Structure 1
């Protein structure tokens, strides 16, 4: 068995990633001769037998036919949108007769022109250019409805932009001839442009070049959540997983506030960038929740579920039954992903919700979760929508760190007992004394104290996993500062900020001793953000400046 046969078998068994298979194909193409002929025959045989999806087959054949083989970026420096195992891939069914589209509501007519079946189709490959603007640099992956490329934006180069790269999602030829699928991509762009959020990928534009329809979005460096799950087969510790779960939940919560349901949430559609920040990708079959007002008329023109596009292992029972979209569809998917992140396994062995319900499967308890947390996770995994967690906020409260109501009641009891004992002591033993009133009395309402306790625990979690000053809006320094907005004299928060500065000073000195000046200076700046008067950090900053 040659290297391509071995790699292809390993890919089909989910032992290697798509980009690793592509690398083997490129090496085979460079060899030429009998090896190249055998490779084409093997790919054709796998395709005809149904073992190789058409999108992946087309991508691999394009690599074999590519004579240039442009050198790609290192494996660990790209977005790596490689396809997940076949049972995790978004399933797309060809649309059946759904009636004529309402042309008055269809604003993609100009994009449909030029996509007639008789138009010659030119396969895209590395080196191709779209709209005389986007030069394809690397195939990042293959999804249900198209391929994703890393591309150079020539407009950005003209503007001397330091980051000239974008990601292009190009619709497959099979779907370009389907107006419903074309509207799907146009709707994805339109909706994604309204979802401005730190944990949702930025989408720029939707366009056409001849027979190719594509969407441009920000290019990210990092890895998908599916890779992280594979690397931790026993699951991540809760303190490490919770910031990721919280960020995913925040992204979906923002979409739900915009009356948008993702409808295909899964590990492959979550990306962790080089700064550790989470981005939710691919609102490709996102559905507008029916509101009956003019702002949501898109749902009457196009319903993405008519395409049958979803991922069975993460789809709710109602989605499998083609019911109207509901935020609880995403909550079921989020619960599946969270369970997988914490345990390393899908809660129902990758069975779809209907099949899991047929055999009465129950998600096994995760040892590291408390009874309260596991009960909350199981409720979000309920097969029946009426029994499932209703909102993202409810999910966060159920799965998140221990509710501070518990700590508040416990703390109140201790305080009450202590005060009672002190009163007895003062009245029976101690001589009367004059107690001076505090100079500043800050009145903290119960709900504010509860929020303070929540933030203190969240800050501790962030600090444990190294999120001291980043990512934005989800780090220990941010949590402590939120506490000080409520209680400017809160001692744990003040001490926590000083401790962050001390930790960053230590990291800065370690980098300085290794002659890594850029990292040392970065740590100094982060530390001074926490404590601008920190003597150690100020001293090191002067030393770094003097050595320039």
Structure 2
């Protein structure tokens, strides 16, 4: 079916930036009322634009719905609006939000097509990808600003340079495209990222995890150097139960760690979401994997110093992975509060750690004893009381049902408040646990 030149002119004006979506909707609605009441011509025109790649499907559908709505009829799928003069303004505002959502969705869809490879990847160069990601971030920020003005915005953490800390869409070192935020804490934000080098090589695993460190590290060069040294040491810990660290780098003032991307759940999520997990075969396998990982690290002189359920990841493939080796210790090299950075967790920290002592494998042994209680009983051995306070109160860990005498004695020794009464490292702990 031939497209009416007048309708083509209206759509072309929108693509050229001479019309807003609101203006486009009004003009298309007027055109359809006078020349295309059945919307058949509009349908053909929009299908052609979709086929040419000029308009995403969702945006075309939104325009089609709006064009068929009589001026006096409220928009479909929109919430009920107040009857006063604000009604039309609110309707237009809701429409803008829907347009923003469609645009964001389309930009993400374009990026996903590129990630899949094939024709989409051949068709687009890296400059186009950069532009699409920049447009995505601009649309997101505009949407956030509009919601904030309406009193329903989300909080955005700002860095020292005033830019938003959620950096989805940013490219680090002209290589890593931040694709989605996975989590955040005092130490920084973890993102899923696309490694451009892997995409160019048609690698079947184009994703990595990027830990973008807190801006505080930039102000503390000692901590930054220590963090880099720890990342380098962790790179040498090649082990199936330790997350692989690929690199430590900086992009301007932003230091970051490149790691393997994991799919699965952290152990704190497993325990919270599954009442049957504690004491299950999966929990016992996780304990076995932890012994293996820690014994390997301790034998090479590497201490974790911040073992906790959130740093233990049960991957979809099955094995447990230990994350963030040495990061808490590196944080201590700066003169900022590691507790405020969430770089040490009091419920798992040994008395020596809480008193600021030097790191020692026996700190990991104490934390591991706490974790074994949680993995088998869902309960912390001292009700999450910090070790120094538990020691002052004379608290003792409860017996774990089902353990052999050797296992129970080994776990009790791991939780000793005096450092010299604990196993010297995870290897010795494992030997005692196995009754050797």
- Classify the TM-score, shorter chain: 0.5 to 0.7
Deviation per CA, 1:36-68: give whole Å up to 9, x if none.
64344x85xxxxxxxxxxxxx62xx89xxxxxx
The answer as to 2:157 corresponding to 1:139 is: no
Question: Which residue among 249, 254, 261 is the counterpart of 1:219?
Answer: 261
Deviation per CA, 1:250-288: give whole Å up to 9, x if none.
11111111111111111111111111111111014365x
Question: Which residue among 341, 345, 348 is the counterpart of 1:311?
Answer: 345
Question: Which residue among 398, 414, 421 is the counterpart of 1:380?
Answer: 414
The answer as to 2:72 corresponding to 1:38 is: no
Structure 1 counterpart of 2:426 = 392
> For 1:445-484, what aligned pairs fall within 5 Å after superposition?
none
Question: Which residue among 334, 351, 370 is the counterpart of 2:404?
Answer: 370
Measured in 1, the distance between the counterparts of 2:165 and 2:281 equals 46
Maintained 8 Å contact 1:316/1:383: yes
The answer as to 2:315 corresponding to 1:270 is: no
Given the superposition, is the C-alpha separation of residues 370 and 235 from structure 1 closer, same or farther in structure 2, using an over 3 Å criterion? Answer: farther
Measured in 1, the distance between the counterparts of 2:307 and 2:147 equals 43
Maintained 8 Å contact 1:197/1:251: yes
Question: Which residue among 369, 376, 380 is the counterpart of 1:346?
Answer: 380
Measured in 2, the distance between the counterparts of 1:338 and 1:356 equals 18
SS at match of 1:355: helix
Measured in 2, the distance between the counterparts of 1:346 and 1:137 equals 36
> For 1:48-447, what aligned pairs fall within 5 Å after superposition?
58=157, 123-233=165-275, 236-237=278-279, 239-285=281-327, 303=333, 308=338, 309-400=343-434, 403=435
| 1:364 CA drift (Å) | 1.5
| 1:31 CA drift (Å) | 9.2
Maintained 8 Å contact 1:121/1:211: no
Given the superposition, is the C-alpha separation of residues 343 and 304 from structure 1 closer, same or farther in structure 2, using an over 3 Å criterion? Answer: farther
| 1:397 CA drift (Å) | 3.4
Segment of structure 1 superposing worse, 131-140 or 169-178: 169-178
Measured in 2, the distance between the counterparts of 1:128 and 1:314 equals 35
SS at match of 2:186: coil
Measured in 1, the distance between the counterparts of 2:174 and 2:208 equals 15
Measured in 2, the distance between the counterparts of 1:316 and 1:185 equals 22
> Unpaired runs of 5+ in structure 1?
1-25, 44-56, 63-116, 288-298, 406-548
The normalised TM-score by structure 1 is 0.49
Given the superposition, is the C-alpha separation of residues 233 and 122 from structure 1 closer, same or farther in structure 2, using an over 3 Å criterion? Answer: closer
| 1:391 CA drift (Å) | 3.0
Measured in 2, the distance between the counterparts of 1:162 and 1:142 equals 27
Deviation per CA, 1:336-359: give whole Å up to 9, x if none.
111110010111111111011111
Maintained 8 Å contact 2:279/2:376: yes
| 1:164 CA drift (Å) | 0.3
Structure 2 counterpart of 1:412 = none
Maintained 8 Å contact 1:204/1:218: yes
Maintained 8 Å contact 1:286/1:304: no
Given the superposition, is the C-alpha separation of residues 247 and 198 from structure 1 closer, same or farther in structure 2, using an over 3 Å criterion? Answer: same
The normalised TM-score by structure 2 is 0.61
| 1:120 CA drift (Å) | 7.2
Measured in 2, the distance between the counterparts of 1:391 and 1:305 equals 29
> Unpaired runs of 5+ in structure 2?
1-138
Structure 2 counterpart of 1:100 = none
Given the superposition, is the C-alpha separation of residues 382 and 173 from structure 1 closer, same or farther in structure 2, using an over 3 Å criterion? Answer: same
Given the superposition, is the C-alpha separation of residues 395 and 162 from structure 1 closer, same or farther in structure 2, using an over 3 Å criterion? Answer: same
Given the superposition, is the C-alpha separation of residues 199 and 145 from structure 1 closer, same or farther in structure 2, using an over 3 Å criterion? Answer: same
Measured in 2, the distance between the counterparts of 1:206 and 1:399 equals 36
Measured in 2, the distance between the counterparts of 1:34 and 1:122 equals 16
SS at match of 2:370: helix
| 1:234 CA drift (Å) | 6.6
Measured in 1, the distance between the counterparts of 2:334 and 2:307 equals 14
Measured in 1, the distance between the counterparts of 2:336 and 2:148 equals 43
Measured in 2, the distance between the counterparts of 1:36 and 1:364 equals 54
| 1:35 CA drift (Å) | 7.1
SS at match of 2:347: helix
Count of residues paired in the alignment:
293
Q: Give RMSD over aligned pairs.
A: 3.1
Maintained 8 Å contact 1:285/1:305: no
Measured in 1, the distance between the counterparts of 2:185 and 2:423 equals 30
Given the superposition, is the C-alpha separation of residues 182 and 314 from structure 1 closer, same or farther in structure 2, using an over 3 Å criterion? Answer: same
